[in-house]
Structure 1
Amino acid sequence: MLLTIRNLSKSYGAITVLSEISCVVNTGDRIGIVGPNGVGKSTLLRILTGTEEADGGTFAFAPSVEAGYLPQTTPHFYGRTIQDLIMEAVGNLRQLETRMHELEHAMSNADEAQLGTLLEEYNAVLTHFQNAGGYELDYKIDSILEGLRLSYLPRTQEVETLSGGEKERIGLATLLLRSPDIILLDEPTNHLDFASMEWLENYLANYRGAALIVSHDRQFLNRAVNAIFEIDEHNHHLKTYTGNYDAYVATREAERKQWEEDYERQQEELKELRKRLKEKGKHIGHGYRPPRDNDKFAKNFFDQRVANAVARDIHETEERLKRIEADPIPKPPELISVTSYFRSAPIQSQVVVQASRVNKRFGERPLFENLNLSLAPGSRIMLIGPNGAGKTTLLRLLRGEEQPDSGSIIVAPGGKIGYLPQEPDTSNLDKTVIESYRYDQVGFEGEFIGRLIGYGLFRLEDMQKRVQQLSIGQRRKLEIARLMATNPNVLLLDEPTNYISLDVLEAFEEAVLHFPGPVIAISHDRWFIQRFGGEVWELKDGLLVKRDIIQAASVS
């Protein structure tokens, strides 16, 4: 048993996110943590790392257990090189190695009384050193950097000069190099390409410790975990499911169906019991008639027996009704129906966006040369490629946020580009949800509130929350709502499935599938790519190359 959590609770003011969370994590457990945005998944990890405090309850790691944490947002690495972080990460192994040598020297000079104690400590240190891969340290460093597609970077390079995705992967690499007993990962696949995700899935499958993973990547959860922790949005409790994501979905749907059936059955029973009480009451009230003198004794005797039977039946019915009403089956909460959709009208043009002979460099490195791209009204392009290939830059060029070094990009008259960036916007965090949603739009606030609630992305009580109070996933939902409100007829989506919970994700995917105009999406989400359809283009070494779906799943 590596970690024990008992009755952990956390609230932010009047908002409860975790309520009496209890669970146990053992060696070999690889647990996916799921639930809607804002239910406290990231909060739970932060509590376990000590960066936040719980309001109640306890948690305890087993003695000498080390936990390692990778947050959703990239930590700052000011002034440090890749090699600095690597040496920090393996420092515990170096310390173990040093202690082993100290113990070896001490044992060579120890008397018989000291030898047993020294040998016991030596065996413990040696086991820890071996399990953490101490004897294969150089190989381990190389293989992790290669697996996460970081080996091309010079180790002398300062980390703050890297791209956001490279920083995220450096953070993951250094965490894995530490070989903690429990790995806490918050959305680890957001910046991984296909090859890196497959490598991480295999790495975790063979990991000697345990892992707690917050993720919305359905295929990753299917391949990397053997249990699911669900945090319920209504009662804020945690429930454990064995198996991968598909097994969790099947079990949860069966539980929901059974709950609904049991509730309806009990409601019918309550209705019948109340009806019976009402009818019996009428029977007693209207059943008495004054007896005639000649049969007074017989009639009184008969009426008394009937009255006793009716009273006994009423008493039993009342007792049954009281027992049910004292502990009724709660009504299953209504499932939020996310109805993401675009009101866009298709653009009337043969060519919507035309990029011709576009060149762009990043410093001394060319991202693409003589790149040509033509978007027709029905174009659906999935843009894939290694991290750093220039995919995000290409979308920014098409949108006009950046200018090419040479070449031209023309958007047809009437073209209205909607853009979902890779990372949630961190500006205007002091605005309320409704202020942020209605910004730059004309209309009445009530109309905007109704529309936002209608999407199923937020509730009425969320409208006056500050954006800074929202989780990253909730901010992502707000950006999706803003995107739909602008009624674009061209969509540029940069990792659209990042951060959003699975219920919203599937509805948004459906909205994209039915979008009437051209769409370019960048994604490493294999499930999303399979559903997206259309053409798959890989941007690599400055060239756009058409791929099929099978090839897309195997490109590095």
Structure 2
Amino acid sequence: MTALQIEHLTKTYGPLTVLNDISMTLAPGQRVGVVGANGVGKSTLLKIITGELEPDGGRATLRPGVRLGYLPQDDSALEGTIGALIEQAFADLRAMEAELRTLETDMGSLTGDALGELLDRYGELTDAFERAGGWDADARVGVVLAGLRIDHLPRDRDVRSLSGGERARLQLALLLLSAPDVLLLDEPTNHLDVDSMTWLEGCVRDQRGAVLMVSHDRAFLNATVTSIIEIDEFSHRAKQYTGSYDDYLRAKTRERQRWEQEYAAQQDEIKDLRIAIHDEIRAMSQTKPTKKVGNDKFAKAFFKGRTEVHLTRKLDNVKERLARIEADPIPRPPRPLMFRPDFDPRALRGQFAITVSGVSKGYGPRRVIEDVSLSVAPDARIAIVGPNGSGKSTLLRMIVGIEAPDSGEVHISPQVQLGYLDQFGADLDDSQTVVDAYIDGSDLPEQAAISDLLVSGLFRYDEVRRTVGMLSGGQRRKLQIAKLIRQQANVLILDEPTNTLSFDVLEAFEDALRGFTGAIIAATHDRRFLEGFGGTVLTMGNRQLNAAR
């Protein structure tokens, strides 16, 4: 039975199309992940379903009686104490429970059709109460709060005194306690540690209702979804893939292989058609009668004319076929991303590429990093994990020289050329065009730069002259990656490298990193990235850098 139906949804902002003819259905038991590059309209889709935004076309319809729950990315609506908010989360359950008690009281005084109608209503309400977890609601409070690691917070505490992470986890807890029939989640793993993520994965899998979630967390999607809907970055249309994230990735790999095969086959056909045109033109210039006709000049002309007509018709058919292909060709598949470091490994033999010695850093009275040391070999793979605000980005900025330590020192070997991918793209100039930003700091000719951007598949031709300020978060990240590859650095410093990218670009970027021969230091919270990264994992916490547990 369908709980939610979306029909031909379209949403635009001025000339920009965000959602284009999106249709889907959602039934109880289905858990659907919505994926795509930052800015393609994933959160907009959820807001249209909730009624917060109006579509420009189409509609989203909930089946009558279906209760909707929504977790936005912000928590601005939370006010009051934790205990009062928990009680508000049970408001629908309390109302159902009260009606059940009233119906039970009325059963003894009714007969006939009136009793039958009351029993029907009682049965419907009992089913709804059970689906919402009404029988064990109070017991679930402790389980949910503990799972999200906020059970230590006093129930009489005002939410305005909570940290941003605590507020976000409380909002998620309240939504789960309300047990809606359709659950909409927008980046639910933000602000969660690994243990809380693992608990949430099990909670989502156990949902009896339908779940529609936007998430950049590939490990979370892989553990929870029954299908994935991808919103294309360019067409803004949706395509559905059955199964987990791994199933989606395999399907995308097959699509890429078919694309490459079809492109190669078409290129072969274009080559053959051009050869055929050349051969037909040459044959026409050498046309001779095909039958022995003696000295009959009229017969010679007749047979020559018939031959020319045949060749002309054949030539026209070949030209027409070639014109049809060239009018709508299969686009060239992007070239795999690849780092080409300007680097002779022998130059650093027996040396460290980077040495961090006893650095400390604070901002006013707040100490962020205290006496941290780190030695980085020429081929090291070092991942740094830890909570937001623990100092991961600060350490990376000190390594690349953007910030100076209060004490201690950072030594970079003279043979090292650093490539830095910062978390927010602060190095990009919003007034520059994409191609100018890509060239910036090099002597690369413009046409060569445009060719690089197009062949990589990171940008289309109509995007390379857009200003950086017009780009989405995902497009800005792609520009940063393009610049990083162009620099030919031999040591990469990456701050949350997987943020805001569409999964196809992300997987290609990770493949390129696996082929990189120099050292990499990456600060990340992405579990899937860590699985394939290898090397050493260090944890930043309590102002120290230690080996991960």
Q: 1:516 to 1:173 in 2, by over 3 A?
A: same
Using the alignment, how far apart are the partners of 2:340 and 2:98 within structure 1?
A: 61
Q: Is the 8 A contact 1:80 1:159 kept in 2?
A: yes
CA drift at 1:242: 1.4
CA drift at 1:138: 2.0
Aligned partner of 1:207 in structure 2 is 207
Aligned partner of 2:21 in structure 1 is 20
Using the alignment, how far apart are the partners of 2:448 and 2:96 within structure 1?
A: 59
Per-residue Cα deviation, 1:354-391 (whole angstroms, up to 9, x for no partner):
3369899999xx999xx543111326543345x47935
The reply on whether 1:132 has 2:135 as its aligned counterpart is no
CA drift at 1:396: 8.3
Q: Is the 8 A contact 1:184 1:211 kept in 2?
A: yes
Q: 1:495 to 1:107 in 2, by over 3 A?
A: farther
Using the alignment, how far apart are the partners of 1:437 and 1:284 within structure 2?
A: 54
Using the alignment, how far apart are the partners of 1:276 and 1:463 within structure 2?
A: 36
CA drift at 1:83: 3.3
Q: 1:272 to 1:436 in 2, by over 3 A?
A: closer
Aligned partner of 2:523 in structure 1 is 521
Using the alignment, how far apart are the partners of 1:468 and 1:85 within structure 2?
A: 40
The reply on whether 1:154 has 2:154 as its aligned counterpart is yes
2:46 maps to a residue whose letter is L
Using the alignment, how far apart are the partners of 1:478 and 1:87 within structure 2?
A: 47
The secondary structure found in structure 2 opposite 1:352 is: strand
CA drift at 1:321: 6.5
Aligned partner of 2:355 in structure 1 is 352
The secondary structure found in structure 1 opposite 2:94 is: helix
The reply on whether 1:50 has 2:45 as its aligned counterpart is no
Using the alignment, how far apart are the partners of 1:259 and 1:522 within structure 2?
A: 32
CA drift at 1:303: 6.7
Aligned partner of 1:411 in structure 2 is 410
Q: How does 1:245-264 map to 2 (within 5 A)?
A: 245-262=245-262
Q: 1:329 to 1:464 in 2, by over 3 A?
A: closer
Q: Is the 8 A contact 2:383 2:536 kept in 1?
A: yes
The secondary structure found in structure 2 opposite 1:202 is: helix
475-484 or 276-285, which deviates more: 276-285
Aligned partner of 2:506 in structure 1 is 505
The secondary structure found in structure 2 opposite 1:376 is: strand
Q: 1:157 to 1:402 in 2, by over 3 A?
A: farther
Aligned partner of 1:377 in structure 2 is 376
Aligned partner of 1:60 in structure 2 is 61
2:209 maps to a residue whose letter is G
CA drift at 1:248: 1.9
Q: Is the 8 A contact 2:538 2:546 kept in 1?
A: yes
Q: How does 1:44-193 map to 2 (within 5 A)?
A: 44-71=45-72, 73-77=73-77, 79-193=79-193
Q: 1:24 to 1:472 in 2, by over 3 A?
A: same
CA drift at 1:331: 1.0
Aligned partner of 2:237 in structure 1 is 237
CA drift at 1:491: 6.7
The secondary structure found in structure 2 opposite 1:335 is: coil
Q: Is the 8 A contact 1:273 1:321 kept in 2?
A: no
CA drift at 1:27: 1.8
The secondary structure found in structure 2 opposite 1:36 is: coil
Using the alignment, how far apart are the partners of 2:486 and 2:278 within structure 1?
A: 55
Aligned partner of 2:35 in structure 1 is 34
Per-residue Cα deviation, 1:500-530 (whole angstroms, up to 9, x for no partner):
222332354456664845725242x222112
Note the residue ranges of structure 2 that are not aligned, 5 or more in a row.
none
Q: 1:178 to 1:107 in 2, by over 3 A?
A: same
1:353 maps to a residue whose letter is V
Q: Is the 8 A contact 1:263 1:329 kept in 2?
A: no
Using the alignment, how far apart are the partners of 2:434 and 2:210 within structure 1?
A: 43
RMSD: 5.2
Using the alignment, how far apart are the partners of 1:38 and 1:228 within structure 2?
A: 18
CA drift at 1:255: 3.2
Using the alignment, how far apart are the partners of 1:286 and 1:65 within structure 2?
A: 81
TM-score, normalising length from structure 1? 0.74
The secondary structure found in structure 1 opposite 2:376 is: coil
The reply on whether 1:334 has 2:337 as its aligned counterpart is no
The reply on whether 1:531 has 2:532 as its aligned counterpart is yes
1:126 maps to a residue whose letter is T
Percent identical? 38
Q: Is the 8 A contact 1:497 1:505 kept in 2?
A: yes
The secondary structure found in structure 2 opposite 1:33 is: strand
Q: Is the 8 A contact 2:266 2:330 kept in 1?
A: no
CA drift at 1:292: 5.8
Using the alignment, how far apart are the partners of 1:469 and 1:409 within structure 2?
A: 41
Using the alignment, how far apart are the partners of 1:109 and 1:342 within structure 2?
A: 86
Q: 1:116 to 1:320 in 2, by over 3 A?
A: farther
CA drift at 1:535: 2.3
CA drift at 1:124: 1.6
Q: 1:444 to 1:316 in 2, by over 3 A?
A: closer
CA drift at 1:208: 0.7
Using the alignment, how far apart are the partners of 2:393 and 2:306 within structure 1?
A: 87
CA drift at 1:139: 2.1
Using the alignment, how far apart are the partners of 1:356 and 1:318 within structure 2?
A: 74
The secondary structure found in structure 2 opposite 1:213 is: strand
Q: 1:538 to 1:57 in 2, by over 3 A?
A: same
Q: Is the 8 A contact 1:3 1:25 kept in 2?
A: yes
Q: Is the 8 A contact 1:82 1:155 kept in 2?
A: yes
Aligned partner of 2:547 in structure 1 is 546
Aligned residues: 531
Per-residue Cα deviation, 1:422-470 (whole angstroms, up to 9, x for no partner):
6x47x9999446499959x768998699489477644554466576754
Using the alignment, how far apart are the partners of 1:336 and 1:350 within structure 2?
A: 30
Q: Is the 8 A contact 2:225 2:243 kept in 1?
A: yes
1:376 maps to a residue whose letter is S
